[in-house]
Structures are given as structure tokens and as C-alpha cells.
Structure 1
């Protein structure tokens, strides 16, 4: 008999339960569903809502939690659909409502820190501690345009990286990015602790659709099937993700108005202009120029752009190598 414990929740083989896990020393309770398969096996942690306006990932996690039953599993699922709950309930985009921090920059967190630090610490000590594998569901934020792609951990032991890449390769997206980071993001930190982890990017602009959620659910199911946790074979996919190699993340050097020249998924050559930042009189403050041939993964889509905040992210175009 296998028992999974998260916070004050305890679920045994063949059981499914939903409830809340307290973030210690706060008034926040995180929603969680635990599904223990009829057959014992590995435990998969699935999270959404690290960024609370990334709705496709959140809804995907909610529906996966509702639809999968213990009879279909050899192993266990721990599903946290909304990590930044107070941000979601106050519509703060990426940031935790109480302290203005971005959860995906604060892992592994600190029980003695601010609210965001405590949330991260809770995720690490209550959720990640149970996990053999990890799937983190994201999309473009409320102000970001994004083309679907998948990250896998890179700053981890070679066997962890190999397992994470294999998970990523069954996701139905055109591009794959191996992360060079071992801290900051939830999945990055998990990877550095020996947990093969991926982050799926699908959807953007603070909206969601049934079609995107269905694609997201099939991504999750395929990873679970590949891992032998969910019954059935990996389904046919439109894409086999191609590694884009180096990724450049460019932050804005000025606050002002943003005028992009490309859309997510567009390709371009080194030296092409990707966008302009102008002041409120139309004067150019900054020109964003491509530093290599690339594929645009995501970019700010709002007129507003903030100094130090994200502007564009692009990877090497695998078709131009």
C-alpha cells in the first residue's frame, strides 16, 4: 500500500482526493488534487499558475485533475493547478499580490522570507519532495505573445537531463529549449535536485480556449504514457520538437511604448530589427536588433513596456544551421 502525503492531505493506493495545502505563516491555501493509482509506481508532480495569468496551463491542470482516475494509473499524480493563488484572485499578471515578486525567480524559496518565498518553500518541501518527475504548465503572460514550445532542465546530472529531454520530446510543439539554469524557476530547481523536469509553453495574452487546453491535456497525457504512469500509448503528434540551441532573452532598457516588427513564431536574420521602444512623443529610445539568425519564441505584445522587464526571447533557428 502506497501513501502520498502533501501538507495535511494523505491519500492511499486506489484513492483520489482534492483539498488545500497551507502555505505556512500565511493565510494562503493552495488547491491540490492527489491521485494514487490502483497500481503502485512513480509519482508525477504537475503544476500550473506559477504565473497567474497563464490561463491555458491552469485550466489544463484543472481538467487533468478531474478527468484521470486511479484505475488508469500505475503510479501517482500530485496536481497543483494554481501556485500563485492570490495573484490570480487579484489579477496581478506574473506577480504575487502581497510582495510583487515573480515566483519563477524565487526558488527554492525561504520559510522566513516574504509571501512569494514562502510559497516556493512550500512547493519544494511539500510537493517536489514527493516527485519522481515534474511537469510545469505555462504560457505567454497577459502581455506576451508566444509560440508553443517546451523547456527541459539542463543544469542537472546527465541522467536527469537525458530523462527530461525524453519527456520533452513527446510534447506536441515545434521547438525545444534546454535550460541552462539550476535555480529561480520551479522546474529548474527540481532538476538540480535530481527530478527530471519539463516546462510546457502553450497559449498567451491572458486568454484561453478549449482547443489549446485539449492540446495541453494531450501533452500531459503523452508524457504520462511515455513514463508508463498512464495506460495507453503515446498518441500521434503534429510536431517532434526541434532543439533551438542558444536562446537570447532581451529585457527593455527603457520604459515607454513598444512597437514590435515580428510575431511569435517568425524567423529572421541577424541584424534585423525586432522592434522599437519610443517615448510618449514618438521619439525612438531603443532599437531591438537580432543578434543571430533566430526564431521568435515570445515577446511583449502590449503597448506598455517596462525598463528591466522582458522585451523579446528568441532561439537559434534550427532550419538555418
Structure 2
């Protein structure tokens, strides 16, 4: 599997950065199984105060053994770092935009639009299936639920809904959204889901053992 200019060999884990601007990068993990197979993309931290998804991605990274895997997993465990560190509800504080409302992005737009553009151009092409992990924001008390698309092509809708049926959540919600990280992926032909578990700041940076400016965050090694 090749991510950017990096070739990840079978049976290997890799961690690095997905460059957005000269001053902003997204931590990225790549895990390549011993056998050929499909690629699952998992994103988290699109909304900086939704900590459950971030923690889940971290735990998943630690638990996966590429020598026991078939196919590949790509993890973006903290997409909106500025929002995470500043406790900014739903937005990227640099420009005040909601990343889950700006797809497709722009290469010369705001920071939020540029994040969307890079994810679309660099990550979508790898994905056979995408899951965007959310956790209920600091003002939301939520039952576990999953959103699945109904506004994409029929096969994409069918595959996504089938996957949603296996998840042990309270609610499964059909969605006509088209401009979010997961929903725009479905418009590009990628089956995808948005999973919501948690809320009301059940986790915080202190609970995760992460401090602002921690160099391990920048390189995804946490």
C-alpha cells in the first residue's frame, strides 16, 4: 500500500503526517495486512470535542496486528487538531467552519476547505469502505446511533445500509446529506457510515493523557 510517497509493505504498520498546509498536518496511520484485501478507512476527530471517536481510533491502532490481517486499514485519528486542543464545538477555530459541511473542499480555500480537499484527493482513492467516528459533542447527550446514506447510488446505499445493520446501536438513521466527510465519500462511490457514540465530554484531553503541544500528536505516535 502506498500513502503519499511512502510504501507500506505487507505485515507492517506505519505512522506519519498528511500535509494540508505548511503549518497544518493530520496524523495518519497505515496498517498493511499479510494478505491482499480491501481497504478500510477510519476517521475521527472531525469535531474536536467528540472524544470517544479519537480514543477509539487510538485503541484500534494499538490493537491491530498486521500479521493477522487481510487487506489494509488507514486511520486518521485526529482530523481537527485545532478544535480538539481549543475545545471548539463542531468547528475548526481557524476559520469557524464545520468540516462536516464543506465537502468537496478547495485547494486554495480556508483551512477547513483545504482539509476536506486533501482528504478527498489523498484518502478517498484508497477506500473500499469508510467509517467516520463521532462521539456526541459537549452539548449533546446521545443514544448510540449510525447514519447511513440514501442519496448515493443504489449499490453504495445498499452496502452501507447492510453494514449499519450489523452494528449494536440503538438507532439506525437514513441520511440525505452530501457535503460531509462520510456523505461526500458516498457521492464518490465509496460505501460509508457515520457512527455516533458518547457525548457531553465523556472524554477530554486530560483523560486521554494528551497535552497541547505534545509532539507525539503531530506525528500520530500516541
Q: One fold, TM greater than 0.5?
A: yes
Distance 1:149 1:137, change over 3 A: same
Q: Distance in 1 between matches of 2:180 and 2:115?
A: 13
Quote the offset at 1:181 in angstroms: 1.9
1:168 to 147, 164, 171: 164
Q: Distance in 1 between matches of 2:132 and 2:6?
A: 21
Q: Helix, strand or coil for the counterpart of 1:51? A: coil
The structure having more radius of gyration, on CA atoms, is: 1
Give the 4+ runs in structure 1 shifted more than 4 A. none
**Alignment map for 1:76-155 (pairs within 5 Å):** 76-155=72-151
Quote the offset at 1:94 in angstroms: 1.1
1:206-250 Cα distance to aligned partner (Å, 9 max, x none):
2239xxxxxxxxxxxxxxxxxxxxxxxxxxxxxxxxxxxxxxxxx
**Alignment map for 1:59-70 (pairs within 5 Å):** 59-70=55-66
1:48-85 Cα distance to aligned partner (Å, 9 max, x none):
00101100011001110111011221100000011101
1:39 to 35, 40, 43: 35
Matched with 1:29 is 25
Matched with 1:72 is 68
Residue 10 (structure 2) pairs with residue 13 (structure 1): yes
Question: How many residues get paired?
Answer: 205
Of Structure 1 and Structure 2, the greater strand share is in 1
2:188 to 174, 190, 193: 193
Q: Helix, strand or coil for the counterpart of 1:44? A: strand
Quote the offset at 1:8 in angstroms: 4.0
Q: TM-score, normalised by structure 2?
A: 0.88
Residue 201 (structure 2) pairs with residue 206 (structure 1): yes
Gaps of 5+ in 1: 210-321
Q: Distance in 2 between matches of 1:97 and 1:26?
A: 18
Q: CA RMSD in A?
A: 1.5
Q: Helix, strand or coil for the counterpart of 1:45? A: strand
Higher relative contact order (CA 8 A, sep 6+): 2
Q: Distance in 2 between matches of 1:10 and 1:94?
A: 34
Q: TM-score, normalised by structure 1?
A: 0.62
Matched with 1:216 is none
Matched with 1:51 is 47
